[in-house]
């Protein structure tokens, strides 16, 4: 029995019916060198350990893959960038406090796959709308040094009334450490002197980001 091609399946059953391999095959479009596009797609997912690994791959890594040239690589990179921009656009359109899932997904997308610890902030206006997102400190696999004075200066530069802090744990474990709790207290105190509120501090790992505010740690 012949199975429908991914594009035919998409047309007849809808995009949600496609497997990861089939979705990727539709995106890539065509095969190469007597290699079917579904085989190329399956090979990519295997080599990069699934969609997550594929979506964080760089141009050089992708172009080294059999069956991927500049055109197909460009398509993949464009999809990755569009997904990030879509999340950022959704976040900027409304209050992150009214859309906690969007906020969490955005922070997870931009921070989770860094190989080293990164501390970042979402700067908010008086209505808690996003003014800017900035990565402020980059550290090692074990931690990043955070300077509350620098965060406060950035908040003043942006005219922020409040902010949400976030950092990743490269280990994948999103449980707040004692050091995380200590810097959160210092940061809250430094911002309070300027009448700027620290609304939350998220820790990003492999699972759902952990809200320290929800834990009573902010």
Position 15 pLDDT exceeds 80:
yes
> Considering the domain boundaries, does residue 1 fall inside one?
no
Per DSSP, what are the bridge partners of residue 168?
A: 204
pLDDT in tens, 168-201: 999 989 999 999 999 999 999 999 999 999 999 9
* Same domain (yes/no): 109, 142: yes
pLDDT in tens, 109-148: 889 888 899 999 999 999 888 888 999 999 876 567 899 9
pLDDT of residue 65: 86
pTM of the model: 0.71
* Same domain (yes/no): 81, 165: no
**Which domain does 24 fall in, by range?**
6-85
- In whole angstroms, what is the distance from residue 6 CA to residue 24 CA? 9
Task: Tell me the average pLDDT across 91-120.
Answer: 79
Query: For position 113, which CATH number holds?
Result: 3.40.140.10
Give helix 148-158 / helix 178-192 axis angle, nearest 10°.
50
Structure tokens at 119: 């501390």
- Overall domain count for the chain: 2
* Same domain (yes/no): 162, 104: yes
């Amino acid at each position: 029995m012949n199975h429908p091609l991914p594009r035919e399946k998409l047309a007849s059953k809808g995009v949600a019916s496609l497997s990861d391999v089939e979705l990727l095959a539709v995106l890539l479009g065509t095969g190469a060198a007597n290699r079917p596009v579904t085989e190329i797609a399956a090979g990519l997912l295997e080599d990069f350990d699934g969609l997550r690994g594929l979506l964080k791959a760089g141009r050089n890594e992708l172009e080294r893959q059999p069956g991927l040239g500049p055109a197909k690589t460009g398509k993949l990179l464009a999809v990755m960038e569009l997904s990030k921009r879509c999340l950022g656009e959704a976040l900027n359109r409304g209050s992150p406090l009214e859309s906690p899932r969007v906020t969490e997904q955005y922070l997870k997308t931009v921070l989770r796959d860094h190989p080293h610890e990164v501390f970042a902030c979402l700067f908010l206006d008086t209505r808690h709308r996003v003014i800017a997102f900035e990565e402020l400190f980059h550290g090692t696999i074990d931690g990043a040094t955070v300077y509350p004075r620098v965060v406060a200066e950035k908040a003043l530069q942006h005219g922020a009334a409040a902010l949400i802090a976030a950092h990743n744990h490269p280990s994948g474990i999103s449980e707040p450490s004692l050091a995380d709790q200590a810097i959160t207290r210092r940061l809250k105190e430094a911002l309070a002197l300027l009448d700027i509120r620290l609304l939350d501090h998220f820790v990003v790992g492999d699972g759902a980001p952990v809200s320290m505010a929800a834990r009573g740690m902010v």
